[in-house]
Chain A
Amino acid sequence: AQSVAQPEDQVNVAEGNPLTVKCTYSVSGNPYLFWYVQYPNRGLQFLLKYITGDNLVKGSYGFEAEFNKSQTSFHLKKPSALVSDSALYFCAVIVNTGGFKTIFGAGTRLFVKA
């Protein structure tokens, strides 16, 4: 079955430290991968995507993600975390099942402590 997994329910990091939110996927064919962020009382917001090209993708708010085909991963990273980065992060993959469908991971809650 085609799926995306976020192995960590929660990630805690101190402000100023680098952060990583993990995502792995299982799809047939080429993966089309996305990261979304959900702040409290706000809708999901697009952060970045990998379609093709460079494995390192840069997105909004200083976030980046690295596509690793051999490890089937698409981890979200930021060199220096901010308290305001605290939110719920979702990895997603677009699959073709007779039509294109986005499958979301369960989400990872990021806490950045001052």
Chain B
Amino acid sequence: EAGVVQSPRYKIIEKKQPVAFWCNPISGHNTLYWYRQNLGQGPELLIRYENEEAVDDSQLPKDRFSAERLKGVDSTLKIQPAELGDSAVYLCASSLLGTALNTEAFFGQGTRLTVV
């Protein structure tokens, strides 16, 4: 069974440029998460989807970040414009039922973004 697939694996852009990340969750997983992981820190939730609905986007910097999950499957995360401080690893994860407390998440390999 394929795991969570993310692309690209690496991205280097100049500040003020736009960037987009793509995630394909595990088939059948209703819940999809986007996390940001800064160097030396644990992942921090940016947004959580239940099917196509964003149920928790309280940590998403909405002035420059946006996300969508059309048809409740694949998802994209966009930054426009990027800032130097956005350099981090962006992780996508999925789980069967996000509101079930005993459900673990499955993570993709992440996209390492470097803003120069």
Enumerate chain A interface residues (CB-CB to B < 8 A): 9, 32, 34, 36, 41-46, 49, 51, 90, 92, 94, 99-102, 104-107
Q: Inter-chain contact count A-B, CB under 8 Å? A: 55
Known: A106-B40, A107-B40. A43 touches B3 (CB 8 A): yes
- CB pair A100–B109 under 8 Å, yes or no, is no
Bound CA–CA A106/B108 (angstroms): 19
Q: Is B14 located at the chain interface by the 8 A CB criterion?
A: no
Q: Give the size of the chain B interface in residues (CB under 8 angstroms).
A: 25
Contacts of A32 in B (CB 8 A): 101-102
Bound CA–CA A105/B108 (angstroms): 19
- CB pair A46–B106 under 8 Å, yes or no, is yes
Q: Is B22 located at the chain interface by the 8 A CB criterion?
A: no
Residue of B at shortest CB range from A92? B42
Per a CB cutoff under 8 Å, which of A43, A51, A105, A106 touches B109? A43
